Structure 1
Amino acid sequence: IECFDVCGKNLYIGTNDCFVIHYNVEERTVGNGPKVVFHNEKQGHKYLAVKKPVIQIKAASALNRIMVLIDNTLSLLNMFDLEPIMTGAKVKGVTYFCINENPTNGNPFSIEICVALKKKQIQVYTVTEDKLVHVKDVHISEPPISVYCMINYETSHTQDLFPFDSEHSKPLIKRISKEEFLLSGPSALGMFVTSDGISQRPPLQWSENIVSMTYVHPYIVAMNDEFITVHSILDQQQKQAIPFQGGTYLGNFDGKLFVASGREIYALVPVAWEKQIFKRFQQQAAFIEFSEGHLEEAMDLFKNSQVDVREVISLYPRLLPSNCNFTRSVPPLHEIADVNQLSRGKEDLLKEYKQFLCTYLADIKGTGTGYKQEIDTALLKLYAEIDSPELIPLIAVDTGCDLKDSVEWLEKYKRYNALGLLYKVHGEHDKALALWVKICNSEVQDESFEGINFIIEYLANLNDHELVWKYVDWVLSKDQENGVRIFTDRPTTEPPSERMRPDTVIDYLHRFPIAVITYLEYLVFQKKLEKEKYHTHLAVLYLDAVLKLIKTNNVKKEEMDKA
């Protein structure tokens, strides 16, 4: 998903592979709660055939049209069958466009848009159902780079406002009311600016790396790579933080808030204050049950009240990642220092509390609660401490474990195979291989390691050929017959390279007679290469093997027949 727009019950999605997809989305309530759910039904899709991502998509219900920006071309599609409008409704060289939400013309069957072009120009168009009518050019001396500026499109007067860090932040602009806008400013500030170029409200203090924001009175909803935050424009204070990773865009569509990740779209639904109070009571009750050792009751309450999982993990010393800046809820949900205080030196009780956390985190992992790194890192530390068989699967499948913290913990409890897998997941292949070699050489002990065949398979699939050759000699000195699979079991999709050329491999394998014969057999019988020198070389090696057997006293007939 690159972009989306919602108009009434119609949801339009633009994808990175050049599709526009149309869904019908209907809001429903179910149960006694009642709970809000959304029913969606696909209406159709259109491939726009330019093999570029759809950058922007905007619906215009008054015209029964949608505007699409793709490959720097702005065009119109029919709102229902998604067919292009061919009557001159197209503008080329466009980098961005926006709709005038406060138009000056009174025609209900047209809309006004502003278009930014690649050249130093901004244009104003009137859009009708069959064409884009050019109204005005607004010339600018230099395109703004790393600075916000305000342009009066009637007089072309330009006023610079303030700079922003173009390397580390995305410029965001949102209309708040008539002639007032919110801009993403320096130092993670949200700056309010009027059409007079002044600010009449204090700025908002955001988190870093805001990627999208929207306004639903009186709240500013903003999103970075970890959270969706809600601030009030009345007192500029943060009211809520919702964990959400991988978000790309959020918007307010006639009072409905939708947020997109790379492959999914979610609705943000307001919760009545009565429910919020009830949820807080549930969370407080959960910690009371936890402190009294009623762990089954605490488990249910933690899950039902959707407590911030970090509140629970923080009760266990050093289980949160060292880079986590979490602070407990204010006002506090409990007065517990940590589980050491609750267990009062009783090892069995402390063990129960740790087993409780293992079960709780494993149950909520992957259920959309967020905080993947915090959950995975805490589980890794717990599994390492109790030598759980779940440690290897946790690391091997989409782990979010913090590397620095986890290395220290795995070394502490001597989980060397798991540490090697963690290095692998983080792309530290040399460190992973060096550790597994130590296990094979009995320099360190770890019975969970599968042995040299695992290293052989790993090297056979490693595309860093320089690193592969670093370990070839060690493998072949241990096991020639299986070690040669480093060269014979390589992926069929691997592009050719000088380091893996058959002649290069054969030259190297001369010191390993079993390996060189096996490799030549692979080239001749499996790859069916017709090069005469490979066939001749293999025949000579066969003959040498037979002659050596003949010279050997008491050779068995079976060995001679095999040769």
Structure 2
Amino acid sequence: MDLVSSAFAGDLTLQLDFSFVPLQSQHPALAMAFRAFTQVHVYEKQGVSKEKDKTSIQCLECYDRNVYMGTKDATVQHLILSRSTNGVLNSGQTNTREGRARKLGSSGSVVKLRAVPLLNHLLVLWDRSVTALNMFSLEPVPTLKKIQHVSLFELCDSSLETERACVQIVTSSSRRKVIQIHVVGVSRWEVVKEVSLLQEPVALALDGTSLCVATAHRYVLCNIHTGSTEELFSHNHRRQQAFVASVGRGEFLLNGPECLGVFVMKTGTCQRPPLQWPREVLAVGVYFPYILALEPHVLSVYSMLDQLCKQTLNLSGGQGLLSTSDGVLAFTERDVFSLKLVPFEEQIRELLGHDRVEEALVLLDGVQSYYPLDTYEELQKATTRLAGFVHFYQEDFAVARDLFIKGELDPREIIHTYPHMGLSEGFQSQFDQVNHRRDLKVIWEGDRNTFHRYLAFLGDYLRAVRATEQGLACVKQVDGALLWLYVQLQDHESLQQLVDFPNECSLDHCVSVLDQHNRFFALGSLYKSHGIHTDAIETWMKIVDGIYKDPTCSDVYGHIVKTLTQLKDRETVWAFADWTLQRNQKVGVQIFTKRPPDDQFENCDVLALLEKYPRALLLYLEFLTCDLNSKEERYHSRLILAYVAETLQEQLETELDVTRAKLQQLLWESKCYDVSAVYDRMKSTSLHLEKAILLGRTGDHPQALQLLVHQERDLQAAEAYCCRAARDQDSHLLFTLLQIYLSSPDLTGAALDLLKNHPQAFAAEKVIQLLPDSWSVQLASHSLIGSLRTTFHQRQMLRVQKGLAQAELLRHQVIWMQASKTKFRVNREQRCSVCQDNLTEPQFSRDPRETWVTAILNQISRLLTVCLPNHFSRLYIVTEAEPSTNVNFLDP
């Protein structure tokens, strides 16, 4: 970079970016391993040794099958190349036929030849003049005189004007530092423009209206239409090494400083990095996407796409290169060689064959415009697949996966490479030659760690393509490969996820794989996902029963119950219901209680089955009454009796408390059971609290309280019963309980506590009559005072409620009077309906609505003051009337 910077110091016209310049060319061995061109020897000039110097080839021109040679002895030789039936040049000298030859003079080299097919002219630069010959007879065109004093010329291909039958050529004068543009017709040519230069040109190239000129010290851009010039940069080459070549599309290749082939656009800018080539480059040929650089003994081929040397050809004594429509012609003093481009498909395959993946992809992208869209897409996919295999065998798995997906690779191509999978039988791979480069079977046997990395890649890739078009086309092989893979990797979670959800695994293959590796739980799940529920449940049952050993799973029994719960096939559910309930009644009954609401079994059928399983029966009855809210008496009664039976059999205190709590709650809350039948079944038991609840449901509260007090001996339960059984009749039931307490001498303290705890529930006059004579006033005073205060408070609250109700009534009357909008007139003869005095003041004849409102509000104030003397002060209503005035209160 320092050398390049120094070479361009002071040159601000051309801005180059050399950040991508390869500092070293590709290794020669690699360059030789790849063929971009094939070399064919098409002509060898015959002659005597002493005449070699005089008859040596100096330049070439080609049009179709016609090749024109210019020699050192001023001769133009016409050669006719033959073609094979497929349009490719045949190799060997016998396929090239010599045509006419034209001797221009006694001496002097032919410097340049250019064919003009439009005019059938062959332009020859010899003896510092341009002469026009007929392309086939090589006779001079008599109407066209020579253009004298020409050192260089170039044909302007883009300026062909078929209607006017003329072309343009650009010549460099050998006497003056000018460029001349000529228009050449059938019978004449004339100069139409001149462009002055500061130095004499030594090489030039033309692309459209843009002309790039190499002088002895620098390169210059010219526009042949406007005549404008722009200096590019200087060079330090000899005159023979300062050359310019047209790359096409307004781009030129220059032999720049410090062994750089610099690409320059007609705008004076660079759009691609330069080439790093040898110092002694004699000539260049351009055939997209390659640049052919001729050196003294070899011909090097460089890519314009990635600036790497792709191929080297031995060519000792090379003189020059000529780019044609079919390839490039290279010549020495006596031989002509044809360089034909190898089809891009073959080049790409060859690059991939040598693991040069990036180069292959760059080449494919660069030649996209040379193919129809559909053809290019197919080629791109094929190339991407091959590139994926290269990365695959290099263990660059992330890149390989992306390339396989992008190339839409058939997943079976990857599955085919893995040994012992048994899923690709009968499949014919398109990449057998590629896949044999590294046998995974050898890795399987010798390096298990590496093979596990390949297995991990396979899983990642198959999961990525499983839902794609390629994966769906061979979904059985993909799913089967994933199952085999998860078994090999012992990835139990992924394996279970695969077999739990819908899949296309082939049972013929996958069942044996799971069976061989003792993955019986996954085997049952595989059966289930394929709709074979009987085999699935039987397989899981064998795990629960200990016939199969599968350490990868837990709670298989719970999984069976869950499966039966969700199963629509009722016959299968009935088939395994007994086994399920025998294992665990509490969990097994869920196959009936956890089913979807729209898929419930007949209750009578389930109850018949559960007769042998009391715990399951109880849970199912709870489900019917609590979850389904069934109101059928038989279910409620049966559930109560089930609770009773379980309560009597419970051993653990915690379980007993839970069951009795459920029984008592059901007895209190349910209204759908047969009280008499339940009481008859419970009468002989020790469940006194439950029997008391039943007695209360029949209305026999005294008997229920007697049972709780004297048999259950639970006074708190008795009080709770009173509160729960008759919340609207607390005083009555509590009074009955008080009587029971007072009738037993040992329960006097309980009676006193009852009075203290519920003073508001007892009327003082009734309690006084009931209390024993032996009780002192002080002993009962607390409860009596509390009862009196409660009674007084209740009476006062009733008065307040009554007053508020009257006030509310008056408020509604006011609203009604306001809505009626009634008016009336008062005269002197009328009396006030309140005080019976005559109305003498005329100013009181007012809108009656205001009078009524004032009177009503004053009455509300009086009512509130009377009813609540301790809580309200008098309300004063101020009106417009005089204080002494009597207001007539009218009944609406």
Structure 1 length normalisation: TM-score? 0.47
Q: Which has the higher strand share?
A: 1
Q: Which has the higher helix share?
A: 2
User: Higher relative CO (CA 8 A, sep ≥ 6), structure 1 or 2?
Assistant: 2
Greater gyration radius: 2
